[in-house]
């Protein structure tokens, strides 16, 4: 059996310093044959110069550099990179990630069966600088020893034939701000693979460090965009409403009804406390792998996060019911 060509697609925008570190790590990969396709999403900083200098210094590297004429977003850039690539397997990494030397080797090893459509790896987080970084720590965590329940867009590898139209472009958030995204870039692909009966595997040895930091403003914008993106995903693929956000909305509706009755008001507060505790345990401890102390520390900011996420989510649904186009930009 011949060794498959792997193409790594890296979208980038205004991260000249970070994308150089990303490419340096890809140049050190142990796997061959390997192609790297970088799509510059119309950067306005020194990214173009940095990429040109990197290419000149690594003439022996199979490197393809593309540039969008206008900013289009991460998935449109990834799709352009796919079209320009030649690999049988397409790996994806973000420009703020640094891969271990055997990253590709570990991902390819996950395709041990013809039934495997995609393999995802582990995303490690840098030491948090503030409570907002800590809140997002573990967001890209994957579960399982063999079978994956999700994919992570900044650390995954997919069979080329399964990628046609599978990376949603209509949910892209384009605003000139690379500190936040609509998130869930890979969720359309996950839905496609599940519906077509493909397996998704976890390659726990395929590790990348995700060097992404948050401020209060980017944290809050991320909440709104995440809610809008989740709503557009549900509308596009006819998914059910997100249970955690529905529970939050029902809690508020119940509180309004209970305003006339003291006992009902106390009951409503108890329900909110129960919801908050369950969310803390499920999302922060079980899902993201935080300690109890870390989960308690981020609880206040995550409470704000979920309220903003719910606002963005239900507002997007309201726009759809009113017949207005989904907010895909800004």
Q: φ, ψ for residue 148 (rounded to 5)?
A: -95, 140
Q: Say what angle helices 16-27 and 47-57 make with each other, to 10 degrees.
A: 20
Least confident of 78-82, 135-139, 144-148: 144-148
**pLDDT for residue 275 is more than 80:** no
> Is residue 238 very low, low, confident or very high in pLDDT (cuts 50, 70, 90)?
confident
Q: Give the mean pLDDT of 134-162.
A: 91
Residue 130 confidence (pLDDT) above 90: yes
Q: Count CA atoms within 13 Å of residue 272 on its CB side.
A: 15
The 10s digit of each residue's pLDDT in 8-30 is 999 999 999 999 999 999 999 99
Residue 268 has pLDDT above 90, yes or no: no
Residue spans of alpha helices (H) in 199-291: 216-237, 243-257, 262-279
- Four-residue CA torsion sign, 273, 276, 282, 288: negative
Own/partner long-range contacts of 126-129 (Cβ < 8 Å, ≥24 apart): 126/209, 126/210, 126/211, 126/212, 126/213, 129/213
Structural domains of the chain, with CATH: 6-214 (3.90.550.10), 221-321 (no CATH)
Q: What is the pLDDT of residues 184-225, one digit of tens each?
A: 789 999 999 999 999 999 999 999 999 999 999 999 999 999
* Beta-bridge partners for 206: none
Q: Is the dihedral of CA 161, 32, 190, 301 positive or negative?
A: negative
Longest dimension (CA), the chain: 75
Whole-number Cα distances in Å, 200 to 125, 144, 152, 191? 23, 11, 11, 11
Of the pLDDT bands very low, low, confident and very high (cuts 50, 70, 90), residue 264 is low
């Amino acid at each position: 059996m011949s060794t498959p060509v792997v193409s790594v697609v890296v979208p980038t925008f205004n991260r000249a310093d970070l994308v150089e570190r990303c490419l340096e790590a890809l140049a050190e990969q142990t796997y061959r044959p390997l192609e790297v396709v970088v799509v510059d999403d119309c950067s306005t900083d020194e990214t173009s110069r940095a990429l040109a200098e990197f290419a000149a210094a690594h003439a022996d590297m199979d490197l393809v550099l593309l540039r969008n004429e206008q900013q289009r977003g991460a998935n449109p850039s990834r799709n352009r990179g796919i079209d320009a690539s030649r690999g049988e397997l397409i790996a994806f990494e973000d420009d703020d990630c640094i891969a271990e030397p055997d990253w590709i080797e570990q991902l390819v090893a996950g395709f041990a069966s013809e039934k495997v459509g995609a393999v995802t790896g582990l995303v490690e987080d840098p030491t948090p600088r503030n409570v907002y970084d800590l809140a997002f720590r573990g967001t890209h965590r994957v579960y399982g020893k063999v079978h994956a329940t999700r994919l992570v867009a900044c650390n995954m590898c997919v069979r080329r034939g399964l990628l046609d139209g599978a990376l949603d472009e209509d949910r892209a958030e384009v605003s000139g701000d690379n500190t936040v995204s609509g998130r869930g870039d890979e969720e359309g692909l996950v839905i496609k693979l599940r519906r077509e009966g493909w397996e998704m595997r976890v390659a726990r040895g395929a590790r990348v460090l995700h060097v992404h930091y948050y401020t209060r403003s980017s944290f809050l914008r991320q909440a709104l965009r995440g809610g809008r993106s989740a709503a557009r995903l549900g509308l596009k693929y006819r998914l059910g409403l997100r249970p955690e956000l529905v529970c939050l909305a029902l809690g508020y509706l119940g509180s309004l009804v209970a305003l006339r009755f003291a006992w009902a008001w106390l009951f409503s507060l108890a329900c909110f406390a129960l919801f908050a505790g369950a969310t803390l345990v499920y999302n922060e401890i079980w899902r993201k792998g935080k300690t109890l102390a870390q989960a308690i520390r981020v609880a206040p900011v995550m409470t704000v996060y979920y309220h903003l996420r719910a606002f963005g989510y239900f507002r997007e649904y309201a726009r759809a019911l009113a017949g207005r186009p989904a907010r895909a930009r800004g």
